[in-house]
Amino acid sequence: MNQSDPHAHPTPIDTPEVLANSAPDPEKAGLSQAAFALLSPADRAKYAMGWLHTARFLTTAAQLHHLPAYDLPEIAFVGRSNAGKSTCINVLTQQKRLAYASKTPGRTQHINLFALGRQGQTDAVLADLPGYGYAAVPKQDKIRWQQVMANYLLTRDNLRAVVLMCDPRHGLTELDDILLDVLRPRVEEGLKFLVLLTKADKLNRTEGAKALSIAKLQAGGGEVKLFSALKKQGVDEVASLLYDWMHT
Residue ranges in contact with ligand GDP by CB under 6 A: 79, 81-87, 131, 198-199, 201-202, 228-230
74-79 and 124-128: which strand pairing? parallel
**From the CB of 170, what's the least distance to ligand GDP, in Å?**
12
Q: Which is nearer to ligand GDP, 28 or 231 (CB)?
A: 231
Q: Which is nearer to ligand GDP, 22 or 228 (CB)?
A: 228
**Number of residues in the chain:** 248
**From the CB of 121, what's the least distance to ligand GDP, in Å?**
29
Q: Which is nearer to ligand GDP, 82 or 158 (CB)?
A: 82
Among 236, 244, 243, which residue's Cα sits nearest to residue 51? 243
Residue 103, judged by CB atoms within 10 A of its CB (0-12, 13-18, 19+), counts as middle
| 3-state DSSP assignment of residue 176 | helix
Q: What is the DSSP letter of 80?
A: B
DSSP 91-155: HHHT-TTTGGGGGSTT-TTSEEEEEESSTT---EEEEEPPPB--TTS-HHHHHHHHHHHHHHHHH
d(CA 123, CA 142): 32
Q: How many CB atoms lie within 10 A of CB 221?
A: 9
**From the CB of 227, what's the least distance to ligand GDP, in Å?**
7
**From the CB of 242, what's the least distance to ligand GDP, in Å?**
18
Q: Which is nearer to ligand GDP, 19 or 45 (CB)?
A: 45
**From the CB of 228, what's the least distance to ligand GDP, in Å?**
4
